[in-house]
Structure 1
Amino acid sequence: MPPKPLTIPFRPWKCPQCRTFSATTSNRQLGPEHPDYIPIPQPPQQNLPDRPFTKGRLPVPRDVFAGAEGKDKTSPEWLDPHTKPRRKNIRVQAGSREEWKVKMSNMRRQNLREGLVSLKARRDTEQHALKTRSERNQREREEALTRPEREDDRLTAPSHGLDLDHLFHGYIAGSPGVRPDPTRDERIARMRANVAARAEAARAERAFHVNTLYMNARHFIVTPKQLDAAVDEAFGTPENPIKFGDPHSRADMENAASMWAYGRPDRVQDMLDRANGVRGMKAMDGAGGYSVINRDRIRRIAEVFTGGKMEDADEARR
């Protein structure tokens, strides 16, 4: 049978200067099942790296001191039979293989003895530290559970340790260590009066708010027709828009496009002067100011007498 011809895979020639020395695999050389097949832009700040995957699985460490049938492997009763020296003193030649075997066997015995003793000491140290830490945590827990309540916690707690039956039904006659309170009935009556006064004040305030809402609800805009009427009243209609200025002056009405055409508004000092009747003011302004103030005072007095909100005269004309 003739031999098979040797086949060499054909590789296209590539310029050495055009080769890339990057270790990153091109996406075109990855299969569709690879997560990097479709390039996804990465954020500037990467997330924390995942925990590195450990190949294989570490075995569970066995208990070195198990299987001694209740004996301590660090005791002489167990160590002496397992680390006893050779019975025969064999003379070996220096540098020979027999000398190396004897040296290794002695080293194994020594390592077994020292390893068991050191492992037992380390295990005892770890168990002692674990037991000490556990006992300390247990003591701290018991102390926290049996610790008395702090004064600030007791005073700010939503519940208290008062004897409600004793508080509402009086002191028990003949009970030891209990002193009668002669002012108990007076204090309870005063507390009940305070509670009733607060309830009455809250009821009156609510009634006043309901009455005020009822009086102001007549001017609420709840329909499109009312909205159109309010807009026309404030800005006028396209045929008859709102003009500012003197209505008897044609030039003033044509050029006045602001509320300031009526003049500057009153300052706080002007209103105080009008209320106090300072000399030097116009008699008409003073009379008008006094009439407005008196009207407001009378309305407030009537509200106090009636116990409800009353409508202003200017609002009633609307």
Structure 2
Amino acid sequence: MKKLLSVLTLTICVITPAFSSPPSTFSEAKVIAKQKIYLDQANSAMGELYCGCKWTWVGKSGGRIDPESCGYQTRKQQSRAERTEWEHIVPAWTFGHQRQCWQNGGREHCENDDPVFAAMEADLFNLYPSVGEVNGDRSNFNYGMASGVAPQYGQCKTKVDFNQRAAEPRDEVKGLVARTTFYMFDRYSLSMSRQQQQLLMAWDKQHPVTAWEKERDRRITAIMGHSNPFVTGDRSWTQGYKTIGDGLVSPFPVKTSQAAAQPTLASAAATGVIIGNRNSHLYHLPEGCPGYKQVSAKNQVSFNSETEAQAQGYRKAGNCK
């Protein structure tokens, strides 16, 4: 009987997945992504993001590319061509530039002082191992068509148009990058150009969700606590889609006492708090006011109603709809 109980206990431990918390930093996210999502994918048929290359894990989260597995040829950067790097499908530059912190001091300032940026940078749905050289060449370019560009990396199908500042990923991942982009822009209420929306909607339709994409979503959901609704089919992106912004309430604590006394723009928006600007004496509503997210932290003052703001001598910003 004792032996039977031991066997049952061992079985339960093996088949019950350990609960994981969402990573709070990009560094932590890379380690978790390796261990919980991509550990068994280094030799899979899908391979890394851009060229389908297989790789060997090295260290906590790195890898060494097997160029023969995908017919990869180095374009220019040999050291980066030999290793995997973690690609932000939506670049940090792209979502960072829609945050006030980036205007105040760039990426480092955002990492230190903006919990919402930290959540975006560490979001596991947005990370994928890729050939370092292609990751570097892609830079912060939007995804787009690169029809006139000749093959640049041997048999690798991804192409980078440096003149048009666009990167066209291989067909096998076009649907995945489209649905990941929809997720990031929806969850963090980012603005996307009409042209970009049209292209990604076409890729989403042309390249339906694959079995691996569903499995990837399942693994990430177990850690993040939510799925990508554009993979599960719970949401569908249409032209002019109104973003939900359900990731704007940050789970991370505010670091400074000054910030603790003043609600973040993300939390303010979630609770309907009105934000005023001490310098201009204009106030901005959570919805319909483009300047709501642009007020620097040092100039913010919050009100519970427009009446309260007006009583303090503030008036509504002229660009509010």
What range describes the TM-score normalised by the shorter chain of this pair?
A: under 0.3
Q: TM-score, normalised by structure 2?
A: 0.17
**Relative contact order (alpha carbons < 8 A, sep ≥ 6): 1 or 2 greater?**
2
Q: TM-score, normalised by structure 1?
A: 0.17
Structure of higher CA gyration radius: 1
Higher strand share: 2
